[in-house]
Amino acid sequence: MGSYDKDAHLRSILKAISYRVLAAVATGSIAFAFTRRWDLSVGIAMVEAVVKICCYYVHERAWSYIGFGKKKHPLSSLPVDRPLKDGDMEEIKKKLKELGYISEE
């Protein structure tokens, strides 16, 4: 599987944090509805957010290794030894057009 098929670790972390902030607000609101105590509600929301960020990150990284449901690009199995440069991309596009894989623009 090519390196472009997986999310970067930082992306997974940021997704986990942004989702958990939203979910923690919901949890804190629910806790407040039951307890009517802000201190307890905020504490519950904070602990829940940290624990579930860790759980989500592990879950997300595990799924990044599972190929089920992912569409793999047919060229992703080609071994590439260095990053492509802009000029390389133009040559590749040109060749793909010649071979009929890309229509003329």
Nearest by Cα to 45 from 24, 14, 66: 24
21-73: per-residue pLDDT in tens? 899 999 999 999 999 999 999 999 999 988 988 888 899 889 888 888 887 77
pLDDT of residue 42: 95
Q: Report which of residues 28 and 80 the model is more confident about.
A: 28
Q: What is the pLDDT of residue 105?
A: 61
* Segment 15-23 mean pLDDT: 86
Q: Give the residue-averaged pLDDT of 11-20.
A: 85
Global pTM exceeds 0.75: no
How far apart are the C-alpha atoms of 51 and 48, rounded to whole Å?
A: 5
pLDDT at 1 over 50: no
